[in-house]
Structure formats: C-alpha cells, structure tokens
Structure 1
Amino acid sequence: MLDIPSSVSVDVEALLAAQNHMGVCDAIEQYAPVGKPDAMTTPHFPKVAGIDSTVPPPAHTVAPASPAPPSSPGAPGAPGAPGALIQDRLAGWVSDLTTLHELTERLARTAVMDDALHEVLRAGAALVGARRGLVVLEPADGLGPDTTVGLGLARADLGHIETVPRGATSYGKILDRTDGTGEPEVHADLLSEDGLDPRHREVAARLGYAASFALPLATEAAGRLGAAVWLYDEPAEPVERQRHLVGLYTRYATEHLARLLELERARTKSRTIAEELLPPRLPRVAGVQLAARRRTGPRGGGDWYDALPLPEGALGLTVGSVTGSGASAVAAMGRLRASLRAYAVMEGEDPVAVLSDLELLLRLTEPARSATALFAYCEPALRKIVLAGAGHSPPLVIGERRTEFVETSLSAPLGMLACWEAPSVELSPEPGETVLLYTDGLLHRTGDPMDRAFARLHAAAAGVPRTIRDDPGAIADHVLHTVLPDGLDAADSNEDVVLLAARFE
C-alpha cells in the first residue's frame, strides 16, 4: 500500500531495533483519534539510498538531540547520521503499514454493507483525527441502494445535514462531479469561510462542527460509490501523512464496498424473484382464516407455500421445499409450485394423485433434485381435511383441548424413488382449531437434534396465549418467535422457513 523503493538496502538488525522502539499505539485498536504529528526537525536530506524524499515524513521520528560537537558520532555531518534517518523513516513506514493492515483486516471481516460503512467511518476518523462523520452511499450507475450512515450523529442530525443544499455540502460537491473522483474537499475553518451557504453555516453551528474533510469512495475498477466526510469540533485539517494514509485506506475500502454492493444486489434480486413466485395474497374462503410467514436466507431458497381455491368451495393448502439454494433452487421451486397448482385443480380431492404426478414431473425435469411436499384438500364447510406428504414434517393441530401432530404415513421425498405413493390421512379439526403447516427449516434453524426440535415446536404451540388463538397470523408469529428466539428467525441462514396457518371456524 505504501510505495517503498525496492533499491533500499538496510541492515536487518538496525531495522529490528528501530521497530522495537516504535510500537503500535493502542489507541488505534480502540479507534482513538490520531493527533497532529510534531514537526520533523531533522534536516530534509535529498534522495538517500534510493528513498524518495518527497514521501511525507512519518510521525514516529526520533526526538531531536542536543547539538553535538562536529567530531562526535551523532553530529549531523557524522557518517552515522544518514543511516539513523533511514532507520527512523523505515520504522515509521512499518508502523503505518501495521496500522493500515489492522484497519483493513477489520474491514475485510465485515459481510454486510451497513457494518462495512460504519467500519469505514470509524477507521477514517482514527486516521484523520476526527470524532464524527458520515458516509453517503450513492452508486454512479443509479441502481442503488442509496443510504446515509453517520458516526457520532443521530438520525435527526443527519436529517439536519440533508436540509443543506446538496451543492453546498462536501459530499454533494464530490458526488456531482462527472466521475466522482479527484481531490478531497477540505474546509479547515468552515464558519469563517466567505460565501458559505447560510443554511450550511446554521447547521454547522447547531451541530457543533467547525471543519470537515471529505474523500470520494471511488476507483477506476469500482467506479463512484459515494463519499465519506469527517467532521472536526474545532478548525483543523489532516496533515499530509494523515491524508496519505486515509487515501490508501479508502481506496481499499471502496473495492470492498463494491464487492458487498454486488452481493447485496444479487440477494435483493433473488428475494424479489422468490416473492414474486409466491402468492401475493392469500384467498378468502368461507369457514377458514389463513395466514403465512416466510423467512429466507441471504442466497434465497426453495421453500414455498400456497393456498388455492378449488371447485365446490374447497381449498388446497400446500407447503414444500426444494433442495439447494440460490437462483436455481428458486427457479425450481417456481416450476414445482406452478405444476402442483395445475394438478390440484384437476385432481385435488385426491392428494396422493397430486403428489404422484409431481413426483413424475420432478424425475423427468429435475433429475438432480429432490423435494419434500405436503398437500391438503380442505372442505371448510365440513371441517374436513384429506392430506398426504412426501418426506415432509407432519402438520400440527393447535386448539383449546389439544395440541398434537397429525399422524401421517412415512414416505421418501419426491425424486428419491422410482415411483412415489403413500396413503393419505383424514383429519377433522374442531371449531376454533388451527392447523399449522411448516417446512423443515423451522426445525433445522434451532440447531437442535430433530427430536428436541419437535419438542420445542410442540411446546411453543401449546403455549399460545388464549388471547390470540382467534388470529392465525398471531399464532404463526408466536410459534416462530418462540421456536427461534433472540432473532434467530431473522438471522442469515441457509435454511428457509415457511409457516402456513389455517384456522377453522
């Protein structure tokens, strides 16, 4: 990251001794602001031993010693003085490299865009010696996402800053450039500047910042992604060394943010496609209330649910899961769900026939995949359900007098046998009882063995409060949050979760 000429030749023992005296400031570990370095009092030598004298001197220079006699070894004209200067500079460069390595390592461990933006702000604040800042993410291609993240600024503070005309802000000037690159925007004494926008002056005085330093988040490979601004409480600006370090860091950070941006866009597209393949709303059928909940992983998965009105007031309910994840699993899920709907319309009163047809279709069109599925043919007026499952977990009946799993016949998943067929079972729910259909992801996300996961699910269903038993949506939420507490239902996981609740009146 720092350009050190390859022609430098240094005594190894001398370099190690210089490093031992150098150390790495513990304040960097805690993102403490970096203060301005003391002025370097050592004479500025011309290019020595291949070292470019134009490189900004590091802050880790040795304190000047009292003048020595010309004949002493430490005198400026003595033979050892240039070597000491080289060792001092190299020690400073090693310290800077160590600092950048630690900060970029922290950034590389972030896997979510929001976390990465906060990390960029904290690291940049430490490098330039600021306390507050904000980063504006606004990709030049216009595809988003557009967002603003603050460091030491509340949401209301960001709202005040956004009331300043865009062309008067540091980030606005950077983002309005043709390519978003170029020199940083520096305002060393903001409130004393002539021609400062009145609204900008008012907001700066209200929030208590007197100077700012802004850099574009842009590279030739990634293009322009946004701009980062750091705010000082008093008139100040980073010195040349600090600008050099934060410039190196932001170039690396931009490449990392570009990778996260591409990943987030792919995840968003996958989620959108999966949502479009599922029913946008559940049908209204007399005698039954329906509710569904779905949680998907970052890559998108193949779990589905569906509720289909059938002739003569009947209703078809189904949940299922296709193996795999990502776009291919989502596409396979869409094809299977569409096919199942067609089979349900033609022969929905016989769930075994519906799943047998789906098995044949899967073997012919998706030979490398398997799937689990459950289909239930419901007659709400009679409170009668006929269902069959293929490698799927049994439904759960939740009522005032009972909470029990439906005893379904064991069978292999679709695509695992040359011909699938298992007997169906008949169920008659009582008035006010809810039948809960779910996919295996609900059990797998617990991390428990299957017997304990089933026990946890049963306990959660049995503990549904009486006050919400009339609402299938509230029942599904209670079960979901009880089986997967502490945010497990919303955490990134390779396991999708689907719940479909049907309450019979």
Structure 2
Amino acid sequence: MNAPHPPKVAGIDSTVPTPAHTVAPVPPAPGTPPVPKPPAAPAPGAVLQDRLAGWVSDLTTLHELTERLARTDGLEPALQELLRAGAALVGARRGLVALEPADGLGPHTTIGLGLGRADLGHMETVPRGALPYDTGGTAAEIVHADLFAEDCLDPRHREVAVRLGYAASYALPLTTDAAARLGAVVWLYDEPAEPNERQRHLIGLYVRHSAEHLARLLEVERTRACMATIAEELLPSRLPRVAGVQLAARHRTGPRGGGDWYDALPLPDAALGLAVGSVTGSGPSAVAAMGRLRASLRAYAVMEGEDPVAVLSDLELLLRLTEPARSATALFAYCEPALRKVTLAGAGHSPPLLIGERRTEFAETSVSAPLGMLACWEAPSVEIQAEAGETVLFYTDGLLHRTGDPMDRAFARLHTAAASIPRTLRRDPGAIADHVLRTVLPDGLDSADSEEDVVLLAARFD
C-alpha cells in the first residue's frame, strides 16, 4: 500500500520523506574516480549584487566622463573629449565628429580622432547620403557591423574604407530639444564589430549629455564671433595710402569683445592723423562706446588735428557728458610725412616706440590722466622727429597686460622685441608688427582667449 503524500502548496515543492526500508548507497570501488557534483545554482542575492555592482560601475564611469567634458571651455576641446570618451565606451580606436548645426548659422567643422587631415578629406569625397555618419536628420543610430559584407554599400564608401583601413562603424546624431540637430559623431573599427547592448546604452546617455554641453558652447562661440565681427566693423576696413609713410595694423579681440581701437585718416595739407585708445570695460557696451569715441575723434581730428591737445580735450569733454561712468585712454598723433615729424598728445596712454637702425627707444611723452578721470584734462604735446627708414609703433596696454608680467618687465620685453627685429623685416611695417606680437606674446598668447584686447599700429617713414 502506498504511503500517503503530503498536500502540495502552490510555489513550494513538498519534500517526500525517505522510506525506512531504503537501501544505503553503495560506496564506490577503490580507484574509481568520484562522480562530480552538479554546480550549485547561484543564490538570488548574489545575482542581484552583481547587477548592482555593474550599474554602479557604469554610473561611475559616466560621471567621470561627463565631469571631464564639463571642464572643457571651448568647442574644439569638447569635441575632442567627446571622441576620446566615446571611443573608450564603444571599444573603438578612431572616429570623427562633424559639427553641422541645422539652423545654418555655423560654425561648421569636422574633427578626427586618429585621422589626419588627408583622411578627413577622403571621407568628404563619399556622397552625402552614403557617409557613415549621415543620419538623415533623424535621431537613429547607424550601424555598419561589417562594411564589406554589405551588398548595398556605396562604391566610393567602400574605396575610402579600404584606404583608411576600417571595416565597421557606429554613428549617433548630436541632437538637443532646444537646438535641434548639431551634427553627428561616428566611431570606426579596424575589424568587423559593433557595440553590445550595454555599450549602446552607455554611449547613448553620454552623447545626449554631450549634445547639451556642445549646444551651450556653440552659443558662446557664436556670441564671441559676433562681438569680434562688430568690433572689427567699427575699426578701419583698410588703412589710407599717404605719400612718405607706410602703415600696418594688428588687432586681437578678447572673447567678450573689448574697447581697444585704432584709426588712421588723411588730413588737409598731406598730413595724416593716427590714433590708438582703449575704453574701460568689455562686452557690447564697451564696443559701442569705443565706436562712438572713435567716430568723434575723427571729427575733431578733421577740424583741429594739427593741435593734438585740442583734439583730446574735446574728446574728454564729450566722454564726460555722454559716458560719465566710463573712462578711456587715448593717444593722437598729427603726422607730416614730408617732414617726418610727429606731434602727439596722450591721455593715460603708453608712449609710442621708435624703431630704427641706430635707435630703439620710447618717446618721452608727458604723464597724464586718462580721459574722464579729472574735471578737466590737458597735457602738453610733444614732437618726434623721425629719420628715414624709422618706424613709430603705437600700441595699447593690452599688449603689455597679456604678458602677465609687471609693467616694468613688460615694457622691457617690448623694447627687447623691437630691438631684435631682423634687418630684412624693417622695411615692412606689417612684418615689424608681427615680429613684435610673436616675441612679446610667445606660445600663441597673441591669439589665445584673453580678457585683454591688443592693438598695434606701425607707421614707417620713407
């Protein structure tokens, strides 16, 4: 008679007790290898812990990568960081990002990782619709797990892939809710491959965050470009041609736009008016004030340019009446090229530099306060008698401030740079200005982002 079974409960397997008459298991014979036991199933808690550890690792990786991206303060460094971090996430070695804002306002650029300029040029020869990163304006990814196994691959794309040595690609669009499409990024594999599900999830999160950061940097870049364009438009588009003197100017604008300016205008009796100056502050208001001040000085120069003190006195009165909360430095020179004579007056401005074969020295101008600092400005003018072949170099204080040195050392650096100009360059005022810029501001400081504007105006007398 069979023994009764205990009742079954849903979800639980009842255990049947071993009958008392069950025979004990026979021990294995000597020399017989033991029978391996089946592996024990992992406990549910251990599986959950492994998953949590994987999630924490992924979140930590994303946090570190996004922190590195957030520390970039320029568009190009951010694009480079996007390529490097993305390559690590998807297991690729090379890639490129194409910045092509959908609004058409630019800037448009293509940056490669592990790809030279020639490689990027080859990539651009692929028809637009066949590019590995052309998502067609959609938010979808583009996966080419094995390019050479695809029958519908564009022939030119196949040629470029063979030339550059990549066999697979993975691309994602750069899109944001506010700025729409910014471009696309693609990573290239040397062998047939594609990212797995986990890698796609991570790179998708990272690229979405990157697109938002790039959109902010893009807006900053556009603002900087706009300010630089406005500042350049307010300055002379070309320098006048006057017999007996050659002119050259160099201008470097800060990222927010500054108030440094220069001017050169023909005056009656074959004379020439030269001016440099700087308005305090930065941004749109400083640029606008600079434009108003320069336009006013031109009018005063035409009416009474032969008296530089009168010109600056009128300018000081105008500044106090129209810009009471702002001050400015200025230097105006009345040049007579036929006589090689320069009469100048300065208001808080650095003295010009005379550069010639036999001398390199600062002009001895009188010490005076900037415009708008005193109730009434006036300072005596000085005369400079230049020799044939000598150059008078005007500049703004931004040239000295960008060095980061104390003013006495900055002046010494400027003097040394002017004295070291090769003889072959002294006939060209543009070459003189370039040499001074490169020497006083080495290692790209002349073009790097700085709060200080830089202006150089060189006048070489025949």
TM-score (norm 2): 0.90
Q: CA deviation at 1:472?
A: 1.2
State which of 147, 152, 156 in structure 1 corresponds to 2:114: 152
Separation in structure 2 between the aligned mates of residue 453 and residue 119 of structure 1, nearest angstrom: 36
| 1:256-267 superposed matches below 5 A | 256-267=213-224
Q: CA deviation at 1:222?
A: 3.0
Which residue identity lines up with residue 121 of structure 1 in the other structure? L
Which residue identity lines up with residue 106 of structure 1 in the other structure? R
Tell me the residue number matched to 2:78. 116
Per-residue CA deviations over 1:333-391 (Å, capped at 9, x if unaligned) read 11100110000001101101100111111111111111000000011111111100000
Tell me the residue number matched to 1:385. 342
Separation in structure 1 between the aligned mates of residue 442 and residue 189 of structure 2, nearest angstrom: 42
State which of 281, 293, 302 in structure 1 corresponds to 2:250: 293
Tell me if 1:310 matches 2:272.
no
Tell me the residue number matched to 1:270. 227
Tell me the residue number matched to 2:297. 340
Runs of 4+ aligned residues of structure 1 deviating over 3 Å after TM superposition are 66-69
Separation in structure 2 between the aligned mates of residue 452 and residue 346 of structure 1, nearest angstrom: 39
Separation in structure 2 between the aligned mates of residue 317 and residue 453 of structure 1, nearest angstrom: 24
State which of 186, 211, 224 in structure 2 corresponds to 1:254: 211
Which residue identity lines up with residue 215 of structure 1 in the other structure? L
Tell me the residue number matched to 1:440. 397
Q: CA deviation at 1:422?
A: 0.7
Per-residue CA deviations over 1:19-65 (Å, capped at 9, x if unaligned) read xxxxxxxxxxxxxxxxxxxxxxxxxxxxxxxxxxxxxxxxxxxxxxx
SS state at 1:88 partner: helix
Tell me the residue number matched to 1:134. 96
State which of 374, 386, 389 in structure 1 corresponds to 2:331: 374
Q: CA deviation at 1:170?
A: 2.9
Separation in structure 2 between the aligned mates of residue 455 and residue 205 of structure 1, nearest angstrom: 57
Which residue identity lines up with residue 113 of structure 1 in the other structure? L
State which of 159, 177, 188 in structure 2 corresponds to 1:220: 177
Tell me if 1:91 matches 2:29.
no
SS state at 2:345 partner: strand
Per-residue CA deviations over 1:88-114 (Å, capped at 9, x if unaligned) read 111111100111111111111111111
SS state at 1:269 partner: helix
Question: Contact 1:302/1:325 (CA < 8 Å) preserved in 2?
Answer: yes
Tell me the residue number matched to 1:326. 283
SS state at 1:427 partner: strand
Tell me if 1:104 matches 2:63.
no
Tell me the residue number matched to 2:154. 197
TM-score (norm 1): 0.83
Q: CA deviation at 1:297?
A: 1.3
Which residue identity lines up with residue 445 of structure 2 in the other structure? L
**Residues 68 and 192 of structure 1: is their aligned pair in 2 closer, same or farther, counting only changes over 3 Å?**
closer
SS state at 1:381 partner: coil
Separation in structure 2 between the aligned mates of residue 205 and residue 478 of structure 1, nearest angstrom: 45
Separation in structure 1 between the aligned mates of residue 58 and residue 69 of structure 2, nearest angstrom: 17
Tell me the residue number matched to 2:386. 429
SS state at 2:161 partner: helix
Q: Which runs of 5+ in 1 are unaligned?
A: 1-65, 70-74
Q: CA deviation at 1:402?
A: 1.4
Separation in structure 1 between the aligned mates of residue 70 and residue 327 of structure 2, nearest angstrom: 36
Q: CA deviation at 1:133?
A: 0.9
Separation in structure 2 between the aligned mates of residue 194 and residue 241 of structure 1, nearest angstrom: 28
SS state at 2:175 partner: strand
Separation in structure 1 between the aligned mates of residue 78 and residue 216 of structure 2, nearest angstrom: 11
Which residue identity lines up with residue 47 of structure 2 in the other structure? L
Which residue identity lines up with residue 105 of structure 1 in the other structure? E
SS state at 1:101 partner: helix
Which residue identity lines up with residue 444 of structure 1 in the other structure? H
Q: CA deviation at 1:240?
A: 0.3
Tell me if 1:233 matches 2:195.
no
Tell me the residue number matched to 2:33. none
Tell me the residue number matched to 1:401. 358
Q: CA deviation at 1:67?
A: 4.5
Question: Contact 1:222/1:254 (CA < 8 Å) preserved in 2?
Answer: no
Tell me the residue number matched to 1:461. 418
Q: CA deviation at 1:68?
A: 4.3
Which residue identity lines up with residue 134 of structure 1 in the other structure? L
Separation in structure 2 between the aligned mates of residue 229 and residue 377 of structure 1, nearest angstrom: 59
Separation in structure 2 between the aligned mates of residue 404 and residue 427 of structure 1, nearest angstrom: 12
Per-residue CA deviations over 1:437-471 (Å, capped at 9, x if unaligned) read 11011111111111111111112112222222211
Tell me the residue number matched to 1:82. 44
Separation in structure 2 between the aligned mates of residue 169 and residue 240 of structure 1, nearest angstrom: 24
Question: Contact 1:216/1:228 (CA < 8 Å) preserved in 2?
Answer: yes
Which residue identity lines up with residue 86 of structure 2 in the other structure? G
Q: Which runs of 5+ in 2 are unaligned?
A: 1-36
SS state at 2:247 partner: strand
Per-residue CA deviations over 1:399-431 (Å, capped at 9, x if unaligned) read 122111111111110111111111111111111
Separation in structure 2 between the aligned mates of residue 363 and residue 445 of structure 1, nearest angstrom: 29
